[in-house]
Structure 1
């Protein structure tokens, strides 16, 4: 087992931080939960504007870079071919960045906005109905994917253009921080990233596992117990451990491709066998509503909450700020992964491809699955909200699927898709975690290292599930991810500084002047002709003899 490539301070630091947060939550769950929730309320209540500002700036910055001279830079040398085809590339980045959470929220998020709409709108009204399918698309739309894409710029640039075989967040900010990244500051940056990713992964498990358990219960009648949920976690762990161990091409790519085609099948089935016209018109209307109110939605907070007579909703903190914080926690991981799979593409292709393909994918999930559930609610075919309030969101999702033709088949396919979606997120996560704790990554991280992080990703959520505190881990990871906001600004600055310096150097480069002496060249040509003629004459003589 090769251990020389491991960056042990980062490796051990991440595990120590993980234990320092997890053990108090295990042994003192109530006190730990109260403290984490207080920290979260303080952060979202006082610094929500920072998250919203960062989201808008990231979106504007990436559009600027894509259409600037920096966007023309190719990731690799001029002859480098694209490592993955566009479909596989889009499938991998989407599966890594979204996971089974898209199946959960895509199907049911509208119901929360229906009951608690934004802007102080009265619940259940016609205006609330219009906003309920739109806000989910906004939260999972261009700004979310801009936050994801920003870290990919400096990481991909240093890995493929400057050819530094290091996949670390700390290395990506070296142009700004210099040698400071070689000390405790660099380790801290990488450790915070790892902890945020582990907590974010726990969130994905917290959403995905109960939904998969409901699907299995619906198909087989097996009661939903802690044992069933544990079995689901272990099954997903085995799948993504094998995938991560197999590497990018034989594991993650294959699983992501399967995932993509299964998702397309589910979406097309619901679209054509559900209310096709309603889905089309509602999705189209939602896109228009977002386009018309984009900046209002991206900047809406409630600064007048303490003014007498003003009714505070808590919507921005509970949804938009929370989502932006969640994307920030995941952003370095997704950025690292997108950077790793983008060899042969230009910076512009990477930016626009990630933002466009990611947004389109989310529009399809929210537009088709979410609007099918909304249609059932509005027509009275099935009381989704009443069922959800009584039985919970995971059960409501499976109940919505049961309103389709061939319900058993669709629930089975949906459950398999959720398992694979969960696995594709985790195999990408373990791959990147392994890369971050290595000093160098020439091709792929060490196999034992990938396998170690695959099981570590599952271990903490599994333990916390037994004490019923997965949601606290999610909140803790978002609180710990707060410093990543400032790291995001450093990443943008770092990319511009490094790429502009290289562009300037290439423009100032002048090839050495070659002085041509024509008389000397003519004499050399004559001499070579004479030598060639003499050689040919000698060969002819030898043949005659």
Structure 2
């Protein structure tokens, strides 16, 4: 019975694609990396406009939906209560969408912008300082979370309003694609999503594992080796496997709550015992720079870069376009997860809550951690950039924390936080991967299914780490995720088509919330169809009599 719940074409198709890409990368790492990088450069270099358009369109579309009638639709029955409190809900969506990457980039991303600023600005100049502080917040801000939120609309709508017990990207596109999603096209859509998520997981491990290893080395003196990194991966895997096995409420929710409280403590400590005034003023000024230049930053592509009198920096391709491509690859996963945890909320609450809480969390990480590192650089207390260029970003991150009071304690807490952040992302990922390969999900995906994908998420990056090709897997997932751009448009169209149809047929409209009883609508449509059929038959009889 349980085996019948598994969507075997999607399950096997995902494994075949992942192995089909990974095995050549393992056997021929140099040639594979070259092919993947050429494909990536072609896409980011020639389709940059498309990626930036997706970001702006997603942001504008979600704001429109949030403040339209569609935004008033409640996810669930009329008397459905919110499954999770706001704190736990925000903690889970933030931990799933960001992971340990926020600890890595939040602390050190400004250093890359400072050395290679946008708009042709002189590196390490006064103007470069301002943009260095602002651009990280922009890249992890409202547009990123809008891209994440868009897939959640049709998925949550079909799961909680139309009562379809399926958590699949393909199912969410049914209003547009119809029965096509029941065939190979639906399998392809789901498999591409799963491959992108597996590649994204590999990147999260690629960033998080060396950073955790540096923290362990600093605290214990154990040398950083592949063996140490392997142990770290296995410990993280054990944590998120237990969490995923325990389920959404007993595992993922608890781990996400712990994660958020520990993050608040670490950020609060840096804010209070670091340069509080500098952090406050720089973060506030950065928000002003973003609001003043939002559309310029969201549309800048260096169109004159190839002309003799202009200097091409490659900044848009290396950062903004790459980030937008990255959010698009991860979007179906985060959308599925946000949809699953949003029962009892309105569409408007889900949209605004995800964008606001997600952006606020990223502002705090970049504003506090990033500006603390920037202060050390500008004040001459510690040469972050020089240290990073010599020893690497993970070592620089740990050394920045060393500049705090009780540095060793903060490094220990930071390392624990990185492990939990990594685990919270992966337990959410394994939960969703398990849900996608099932024909229906009444409450939780099957436990063995969750455990299988939990260990699969670790095994592939672990093997690739030994051959040094985690970055290539990341790039390959972005290349494979290119079709997801078009799936995003399909999902937006599907949601509007389905929700507008139901709103038009619904009699239970009570501002400010629309309660849609899908069963009543279907029954009403059936009666109307029967009535129309009888009417047509009567007309046919009358026509025959006239003849």
Interval of TM-score (by shorter of Structure 1 and Structure 2): over 0.9
Q: Does 1:90 align with 2:90?
A: yes
Which runs of 4 or more aligned residues in structure 1 lie more than 3 Å from their structure 2 counterparts after TM superposition? 507-512
Matched, 1:272 2:272: yes
Residues 1:151 and 2:115 aligned together = no
Partner SS state of residue 5, structure 2: coil
C-alpha separation between the residues in 1 aligned to 2:469 and 2:230? 14
Q: In structure 1, what is the equivalent of residue 129 of structure 2?
A: 129
Give, in angstroms, the shift of residue 304 of structure 1. 1.4
Rounded to whole Å, the distance in 2 between the matches of 1:257 and 1:53 is 35
Structure 2 distance, partners of 1:155, 1:383, is 48
Residue 259 of structure 1 corresponds to 259
Query: SS where residue 352 of structure 1 aligns?
Result: helix
How far apart, CA to CA, are the structure 1 residues paired with 2:21 and 2:459? 14
Aligned to 1:283: 283
- Whichever of the two has the greater Rg, that structure is 1
Equivalent in the alignment of 2:472:
472
Matched, 1:169 2:164: no
Distance in 1 (CA, whole Å) between partners of 2:426 and 2:255 is 11
Distance in 2 between the 1:329 and 1:234 partners? 25
Pair 1:361 & 2:340 matched: no
What per-residue deviation string (whole Å, max 9, x for no partner) do you get for residues 239-277 of structure 1? 000000000000000000000000000000000000000
| CA deviation string 1:326-358 (max 9, x = no partner) | 000000000000000000000000000000000
Aligned to 1:525: none
The CA distance in 2 between the partners of 1:345 and 1:78, in whole Å, is 11
In structure 2, the residue matched to 1:333 is 333
Q: State how far apart, in whole Å, the 2-side matches of 1:491 and 1:378 are.
A: 46
Alignment deviations for residues 111-130 of structure 1 (CA, whole Å, 9 cap, x no partner): 00000000000001000001
SS at match of 2:3: coil
**Matches of 2:108 and 2:307, distance apart in 1:** 33
Rounded Cα–Cα distance in structure 1 between residues aligned with 2:499 and 2:234: 44
Distance (whole Å) between structure 2 residues aligned to residue 29 and residue 302 of structure 1: 32
Q: Does residue 237 of structure 2 align to residue 233 of structure 1?
A: no
Separation of aligned partners in 2, 1:12 and 1:123? 49
Counterpart secondary structure, 1:4: helix
Describe the superposition over 1:408-464 as per-residue Cα deviations: whole angstroms up to 9, x where unpaired: 100000000000000000000000000000000000000000000000000110000
Q: Matches of residues 56-455 of structure 1 in structure 2 within 5 Å?
A: 56-455=56-455
Secondary structure of 1:210's counterpart equals: helix
For the residues of structure 1 that align with 2:302 and 2:288, how far apart are their CA atoms?
24
Structure 1 residue 310: Cα displacement: 1.2
Shift of residue 308, structure 1, vs aligned partner: 1.7
Note the aligned Cα RMSD (angstroms).
1.2
Per the alignment, residue 27 of structure 1 pairs with 27
Cα shift at 1:303: 1.4
1:305 CA displacement = 2.0
Aligned to 1:531: none
**Distance (Å, rounded) in 2 between the aligned partners of 1:395 and 1:306:** 36
Does residue 37 of structure 2 align to residue 37 of structure 1?
Answer: yes
1 CA distance for matches of 2:308 and 2:409?
54
User: 1:483 aligned to 2:461?
Assistant: no
Residue by residue, what CA displacement relative to the aligned partner does 1:296-318 show, whole Å, maximum 9, x if unpaired? 00000011122122100000000
Instruction: Show the counterpart of 1:541.
Output: none
Per the alignment, residue 3 of structure 1 pairs with 3
Per the alignment, residue 537 of structure 2 pairs with none
CA separation in 1, counterparts of 2:50 and 2:234? 38
Q: Deviations over 1:171-197 (max 9, x none)?
A: 000000000000000000000000000
Quote the residue 2:517 is aligned against: none
**For residues 299 and 382 of structure 1, what CA distance do their matches in structure 2 show?**
35
Counterpart-to-counterpart distance in 2, 1:308 and 1:455: 52
Q: Report the alpha carbon displacement of residue 507 of structure 1 after superposing the two structures with TM.
A: 4.6
Q: CA deviation at 1:2?
A: 2.2
Q: CA deviation at 1:365?
A: 0.1
Q: Which deviates the most, 500-509 or 438-447?
A: 500-509
Q: Secondary structure at the match of 2:47?
A: helix
The alpha carbon displacement at 1:4 in A equals: 1.0
Shift of 1:216: 0.1
**Secondary structure in structure 1 of the residue aligned to 2:272:** helix
CA deviation after TM superposition for structure 1 residue 506, in Å: 1.2
Q: Tell me the secondary structure at the aligned position of residue 344 of structure 2.
A: coil
The answer for the alignment partner of 2:456 in structure 1 is: 456
Separation in structure 2 between the aligned mates of residue 298 and residue 152 of structure 1, nearest angstrom: 23
Between the aligned partners of 1:262 and 1:302, the Cα distance in structure 2 is 41
SS at match of 1:3: helix
Q: Secondary structure at the match of 1:39?
A: helix
Q: Offset of 1:213 from its aligned partner?
A: 0.1
Q: Separation in 2 of the partners of 1:275 and 1:236?
A: 33
2-structure distance, mates of 1:288, 1:153? 30
Q: Aligned partners of 1:245, 1:37: CA distance in 2, in Å?
A: 37
What is the CA–CA distance in structure 1 between the aligned matches of 2:208 and 2:318, rounded to whole Å?
Answer: 20
CA distance in 1, matches of 2:178, 2:237: 38
SS of the counterpart of 2:82? coil
Can you give the 5+ residue segments of structure 1 that lack an aligned partner in the other structure?
513-545
